[in-house]
Each structure stands twice: as structure tokens, then as C-alpha cells.
Structure 1
Amino acid sequence: MFNLVMLNVDWNNDRQAVPLDRIFEYTANQIRTQFQQGNAPNLDGMMRLPCLFMEEGDADQIAYVGRIFNARVGGGEVVIQYAVDREVPPLRNRFIFEHRAAFDMTQRFEFSRNHWAVKDTDLFQVLLRFQRAPTRQMPVVFRLEEHEAVDPLQASAMMPFAGAFNAVYAVIEQAARNAGMRCNRADNIWENHAIMQDIVSLIDRSRIVVIDCTDRNPNVFYEAGIAHTLGREVILITQNPDDVPFDLRHLRYIRYLNNGEGVARLQEDLTARMQAILGR
């Protein structure tokens, strides 16, 4: 399934508003039921789906694929914050109209109406079928989702699972909250049978990955390599500069002391760095 949001707006912005009474127009009844909570849309569930952002029209208007990462109801509208996936080439409405049955958009008038629909088809399968959209090369040791889905407000922390680092992790969590993000580490989630798969999945959906090089933990270094390979924003921290691997010493890192004053300063430095990354 995917969200279809059609508005006559500039999709290069990152925030738009959809009239509340236009939610679920051109949506099949069984899908509407699935994504309703009482009389309100289940926005959390809908945000898990990829999104096709379109202007009205069936000609040379440009449409984009991306994700909605925040949605709230207010004043008769649903205000959304979103990110366009720059790895997926923009589409022309003419192309979508030509293949409208595959996109579950069979009614012509739908192309001239501002609305938000949920479509019961796999958006990426349609793109692969008709446009050969790029896919990722898959590893064999762990699993990656075929299509990248970075959560712009997700941060993660890679560090030893030891009690001595709990206070440091609490500081990383608070720094993420200060920057308007949320933070996890793999021992706080259980989505897969193998913890390594949970770690990889968390890194894969994170916008920012904080790597603590303290004590030269080999698992943490392996996770740093995954984060760099996936192109994530990595923030290195350490109590001891000698713990930063030789291959990473050309990168900037945050040094901190493991005491009250030191972790307070670490929180300030991390908050500033996260805010700078989000502000790009």
C-alpha cells in the first residue's frame, strides 16, 4: 500500500496541509476501515507507508516519492511534514496517468482533486515494473529492506551493552530529544530473532548514528562500518582519543569525560551537532 497526497503546492517544501474532509477520498472502503480510529484517521499507521506526492493534472506536472514523518490534526486540516526520496527519480503525471490502473487510480477525476488517498498496491513494485527504479545490492550476512526508508527523526546509539555506558546512553537520548529526535539502541528493541538484525535495521532507518569508540569494542566498530556504508550521518564520541581506529582518525569526534560535568558537556555538544545536521 502507499499514500497518495495530491495538492497544488511546491513539493520542494517540507510541510503542507491537507483538508481533513479530503482524507480517504478515492480510497477503497476496506482500506479506509483499516486506517480509521473511530472517525479519525490513524495517522501513525498511515505514516508507515511510502507516499506519492502529486500536483493535480495528467500532463507534465512532476510527482515525487517519499515519506511522511510527522502528521497532526488541527483547525480542520492535517499538517504533514515529509521528505522526498532523492534516490527515486521524479515522475511525470503523464506517466502515472498512462499507468493509472497499476497505481490504483482508475477514476480520471481523481487527477483534478486535492485529496489524500491510501492505495492498495505496492508503489515500488509498480515503479520497478514500468520504470526500473534502482534497487540496492543485498548483503548475505544480514537483511536490508529492498527500498531505503530513513526516518528523518530517528537517531541510534552504537556502544557496548554494559552498565558503565548507561549514563552515557541517557545523555545521548536527551540530546536527541533536545534536537527534536528520538533515539534507540538495539537492546531496547526486539523486532527480530537475531540481535544483529535488529542492530542493522535500526541503523538502516536512522538519520543519525552515534558511535561510542570507548574501549575499542569490535562490535561497535563493525556497526560503524555498516553506518558509513549505508551513508548515515555518523557522530563519533570517545572518552579516549587513542580508542578511535586509525581509519577513522581523519574524522572529527567528540571527546568526553565520564563524570557529571563531562557528560553534561557531551549532551550540549551532541545536541548542537544533531541540530546542525537536521538544519542542512
Structure 2
Amino acid sequence: MYNLLVKGGGWSDSRDDMDTSRIFEYTENYVSQSFNLGTDIDLEKLTKFPCIFMQETWHDGSQQNARVGSIISAVKTGNTVKLEYAFDNSIPPMTNEQIKEVQGEFGIADFEFSRTHWAVKDIDLYKVLLRYLKPRRQLPTVFSISEVERIEPTLVSVMMPFDMAFTGVYEKLKEITSALDLHCRRADDIWENPAIIQDVVSLIDHSRIVICDCSGRNPNVFYEAGIAHTLGREVILITQSEYDIPFDLRHLRYVKYLNNSEGLVALGNSVTSRLETIINT
């Protein structure tokens, strides 16, 4: 079994409370009866089970972070239960959106995402977590990525030299991605961190697809392609010369193009075909 505790304003670090009238909402009768002490609730028994502490969903649920943890103590005072609890830092936060994707496995009904309550579910919480949710990622030390990946399904990032000669190439890539209802960005489109490498890595990490232009054998692009491959992103390699593709990547397909009006049209057609294959699988 596990406790599902949902609050509108979210949870503090270690102490909060719950109205007794909200306890056992969305809980099977046979489960709630097992914690019945006549006119009271067997709070001591309840605290032996793991918990999900979740905030009520607003917008698409991608902003709310739910945490797994345990109740240290639960004391009834009038119509309120005073809770002391702790989060399990070995389990990364989950968004409501992630939980909703497999809500049936958690035994959570639709209305529970927008209702402050304390439910008890006759489900093995850790078995569900192991089966459906991604484990904590190994975090690098040179730059930062979030513990839980949050990929934007329509985001395509472009890695290429910061050179005016590639402006037409980038404009063509923006044109074809827009036609597919995708959003195309390059690292120099943003400035959110003091170090540019952090902006680049954040962009790659949030992207579904990464296009890398290897023309000119730019070492930064090679480095960024390596990051994208390591993070498991779909990578499309393009180049003006097959000799600019690194030896270790020559076994992968790439798109060769000419940097002129006719060549960019051909590039657009080839990359569009590859994008359509990716987004339709």
C-alpha cells in the first residue's frame, strides 16, 4: 500500500497538515476499514506506508513536482492531522504529467489531480516506480542537466558554427521545421546562463531532435554532437563535404548539401523527410 497526499499549494520541506474530512477520499472501502479504530483513524498504521506528496495540477501538469517520501509522525488535533514527513532524495521528483501518463498503475483517478485529499492505495508503489519511471541520471560535473529529463516534443536544436556563411542554412532549417509544426532554435538565439556551454547543453537536453552541421570540422559542433548522442537524442548530421564527418561517425547516415539556393532546397527536402520519419514513429 501507499499514501497519496495531494495539496493545492504544494508541500513544504518537512511539516504540513491535512483536514481529517479529506482522509480516505478516493480510497476503496475495504482499505479504509482496515485503518478504522471506531471513531478514530489508526494514524500510526498509516505512517508505515510510503507516500507520494503531490500538488494539485494546474495548466498541463508539467510544472508541479511530486515527491516520494514517508510520514515521520501524524498527530490529530481537532479536525486536523499535523504531519511531519521527509522526502526520499534517492528518488527524483516526478511531474504530475509523468504520473498521469501511467495513472492507472498508480490507482489514481482523474479528479484526484485537482483535489486536496489523502488517499490510500492498495498498490506496491516501488514496483510501479521501477517499472514506469526513469531512474535518476548520472549528472555531469562540467555543466548542469536536470535529474529528470524534460524533453519538449516539438523542439529541434541546430548545432553549427557561429558564422554568417551558415545563415542561409539555418533559415532553411527554420522554414522546414516550422512547416512541420516544430520549433527550431540555435544556441545564439538564447542567453540564459553566464557560460554559453550551459545554454548549449540545456538546449540539447530539452530537444527531441538535434541537427548537427559538421561542415568545416568545427570542434564545438563535434563536441555538441557527442553530447546529443550521449543524452539519447535523435541526431541528424548534415555537411557540405563527406570528409568533414568524423571517422567515428561515418557509419551513420548524413545529408550532404551545397550551400547555394538550389542546394538548400535539396537540403530542406532531405531533412524534411528525415524529420517526418522521426516524428511519426
Residue matched to 2:8: 28
Shift of 1:180: 1.6
Give the secondary-structure state (helix, strand or coil) at the position aligned to 1:216.
coil
Cα 1:161–1:48 shift into 2, 3 Å = farther
TM-score by length of 2: 0.60
Instruction: Find 1:49's aligned residue among 38, 63, 72.
Output: 63
CA distance in 2, matches of 1:90, 1:226: 32
CA distance in 1, matches of 2:270, 2:99: 26
Give the letter for the 1:171 counterpart.
Answer: K
Q: Are 1:145 and 2:149 counterparts? A: no
Cα 1:275–1:66 shift into 2, 3 Å = farther
CA distance in 2, matches of 1:274, 1:261: 20
The equivalences for 1:211-230 within 5 A come to: 211-230=212-231
Question: In the alignment, is the contact (CA less than 8 A) between 1:178 and 1:271 conserved in 2?
Answer: no
Shift of 1:174: 1.2
Give the secondary-structure state (helix, strand or coil) at the position aligned to 2:243.
helix
Residue matched to 1:181: 182
Give the secondary-structure state (helix, strand or coil) at the position aligned to 1:145.
coil
The equivalences for 1:1-280 within 5 A come to: 28=8, 43=59, 46=60, 48-49=62-63, 92-94=105-107, 111=109, 114=111, 117=114, 134-280=135-281
CA distance in 2, matches of 1:29, 1:66: 15
Cα 1:269–1:84 shift into 2, 3 Å = farther
Deviations 1:118-176 (A, max 9, x none): 98xxxxxxx89x95761001111111100011111100000001111111011111121
CA distance in 2, matches of 1:83, 1:171: 38
CA distance in 2, matches of 1:146, 1:194: 20
Number of residue-to-residue matches in the alignment: 193
Give the secondary-structure state (helix, strand or coil) at the position aligned to 1:92.
helix
Question: In the alignment, is the contact (CA less than 8 A) between 2:61 and 2:95 conserved in 1?
Answer: no
Gaps of 5+ in 2: 1-5, 12-56, 67-93, 117-124
Cα 1:28–1:209 shift into 2, 3 Å = same
Cα 1:28–1:197 shift into 2, 3 Å = same
Higher CA-based Rg: 2
Residue matched to 1:15: none
Cα 1:211–1:30 shift into 2, 3 Å = closer
Question: In the alignment, is the contact (CA less than 8 A) between 1:208 and 1:235 conserved in 2?
Answer: yes
CA distance in 2, matches of 1:248, 1:227: 13
Question: In the alignment, is the contact (CA less than 8 A) between 1:211 and 1:234 conserved in 2?
Answer: yes
Give the letter for the 2:8 counterpart.
Answer: A
Shift of 1:28: 2.8
Shift of 1:47: 5.7
Cα 1:135–1:30 shift into 2, 3 Å = closer
CA distance in 2, matches of 1:212, 1:151: 21
Deviates more, 1:236-245 or 1:263-272: 263-272
CA distance in 1, matches of 2:220, 2:213: 11
Gaps of 5+ in 1: 1-25, 32-40, 53-64, 69-81, 97-110, 120-126
| Alignment RMSD | 3.5
Question: In the alignment, is the contact (CA less than 8 A) between 2:239 and 2:245 conserved in 1?
Answer: yes
Deviations 1:52-93 (A, max 9, x none): 9xxxxxxxxxxxx7786xxxxxxxxxxxxx9987xxx88733
Cα 1:27–1:90 shift into 2, 3 Å = closer
